[in-house]
Structure 1
Amino acid sequence: MIAATIQFFDLFSGIGGFREGLRRAGNFVCVGHCEVDTYADKNYRLLFDTEGEWYCSDARTIEPERMPDFDLLCAGFPCQAFSIAGKREGFADARGTLFFEIARILEAKRPSYFILENVPGLLSHDKGRTFCTILSTLSELGYHVEWKVLNSKDFGVPQARKRVYIVGYLDFRCAGKVLPEPETNGAALVQIRAGSQGKRVYSPKGLSCTLTSQAGGMGGKTGLYDVGVPIKENTKLG
């Protein structure tokens, strides 16, 4: 258990994956977030109490001197420029250059720690040169960096989703292994209703695919799941 409260900023926050994880860990307080997608931000605000927190929609317009101080920067920076599912244009894609917004904020704010997340394709992009540039940039800012590819299925999540996590810290006393080793191997999904992809139904107790090739039906990309969520009855007011 972490004794002291750590304040963090949620950059490229999406709907709050980092924030939920830190909430569950305990002793973390969010001081603000940044998200350009209005639909994602709307969901973020529904899921978390953001009253009084600092906010900016576009990371490129952030003025670090206006940001609150924080100990930890979290950033799942856009992956489309590096994903094997995309064109892999890297830094030639405007979304790929958003990493340098992270570097700009780190240089100005000097938080003690950061956690970055992206697709594993980042490691091999441009024969590794892109990842080398990222590591070199972070090192030049004075951070000690550890990175590792982790799969969500190894940590109790019913889904196989590999991501590379990059952890950085300023204090030499943090040196050593930070990222965890896998704990468990997920069980395969149990199919409870047969059919073509997009129509078959799975039990949520097993390990699911992340995405499949596009297919018809409501579950065309991921399949359908019987999650057993209770349905609330509609009520009339007045």
Structure 2
Amino acid sequence: MSHTKQYKFLDLFAGIGGFRIALENLGCHCVFSSEWDKFCQQSYLANFGESPVGDIGKVLTEEVPDHDILTAGFPCQPFSIAGVTKHNALGTKHGFKHPTQGTLFFDIVRILKAKQPRAFLLENVKNLLNHNKGKTFEVIRKTLIQELGYYIHYQVLDAALVLPQHRKRIFIVGFREDLKFEFPTIEPSDITIQDLLEAEVEEKYTLTDHLWTYLQNYAKKHRAKGNGFGYGLVDLAGKTRTLSARYYKDGSEILIPQPGKNPRRLTPRECARLQGFPDDFKIVVSDTRAYGQFGNAVAVPMVELIGRQILQALETPISLTPSPQTDPWV
């Protein structure tokens, strides 16, 4: 994809760099990254040659370089309206006069407000839409639109369209101008979990008799109660459940069948592939840390497809409305 300029972007709550890989694949240039977890920092350094800045809350906005696009896979936290009311009653200062104060989303808001990039791309779990009966997302949406003046688009997309993993996430895209943007229309991929498996796998990834018996008994007990809890034995010609950060505990949500023996966990490399990371991505931490890192990562091909649409919108000199945005939900 050819662009008229090299777009600069921020990689906030960077994890191990899934956003960065996707946008660099599109020719963009990362000018700043932030990630507080020291083990993620190690992985990031090994793969990108730089260690992200730590706690973004301690970074002054004037220390953040100018950029075109802000990206962030921010953690979801409850936003308390009561907290702001309390501050008002006490007469204390609390930054922006809305209930994102004290949350990690607040740091995204203050950087957007100070630097005013042309676009942003945020990612979160699909339940963000319904968190706290929809109040959390309402705060986010109103903040981005009414306070910061961005035109926003959001959609829940399943990574199963591009990878053999069901992983529904909400993506929020914003522009300073009312540009023509559409989320990508994706032709479903026929890639299967079998296509991602390593040819040779160490025996340590095979479940012990004790653990396999425990998982089977656990599933049987819950089936008897009418619950759906249990292990996930993968159809190798299909797609897996969502890879989670807790995969290191027992691997029960995604187990690979093995003829004549107990099933096994995915290897860290297979987890990387399941999230769309390239095979030259260096895994420099323990298996336990790697499982957590890939379980928390973004699906790289999905981010790349959305990023392509963002760049196309930025390069299309069409503004849909010349007047400031009005919020249709007010």
Q: Pick one of 110, 113, 117 that aligns with 2:119.
A: 113
- How far 1:43 sits from its partner (Å)? 0.5
CA contact (8 A) 1:12 1:76 kept: yes
Other-structure match for 1:168: 174
CA distance in 2, matches of 1:199, 1:62: 42
CA contact (8 A) 1:198 1:216 kept: no
Give secondary structure in 1 for the equivalent of 2:79.
helix
- Matching of residue 98 in structure 1 with residue 86 in structure 2: no
Query: Identity over the aligned pairs, expressed in percent?
Result: 37
- How far 1:185 sits from its partner (Å)? 5.7
CA contact (8 A) 1:11 1:35 kept: yes
CA contact (8 A) 1:198 1:217 kept: no
- How far 1:24 sits from its partner (Å)? 2.1
RMSD: 3.4
Other-structure match for 1:232: none
Q: Which has the larger strand fraction?
A: 1
Q: Which has the larger helix fraction?
A: 2
Q: Pick one of 59, 70, 75 that aligns with 2:67.
A: 70
CA distance in 2, matches of 1:44, 1:102: 21
- Matching of residue 208 in structure 1 with residue 240 in structure 2: yes
In structure 2, the CA distance between the partners of 1:5 and 1:187, relative to structure 1 (3 Å rule), is closer
- Matching of residue 143 in structure 1 with residue 150 in structure 2: yes
Larger Rg: 2
- How far 1:198 sits from its partner (Å)? 7.0
Normalising by structure 2, report the TM-score: 0.56
CA contact (8 A) 1:146 1:167 kept: yes
Task: Map Cα deviations across residues 113-165 of structure 1 (whole Å, 9 max, x no partner).
Answer: 100010111101122121111111011211110000011111x2121111000
Structure 1 residues without counterparts, runs of 5 or longer: 82-89, 230-238
- Number of residue equivalences: 210
Query: Which structure exhibits the higher relative contact order, with contacts defined as CA atoms closer than 8 Å and separated by 6 or more residues?
Result: 2
Structure 2 residues without counterparts, runs of 5 or longer: 81-99, 198-205, 217-229, 256-264, 274-278, 280-330
CA distance in 2, matches of 1:68, 1:216: 37
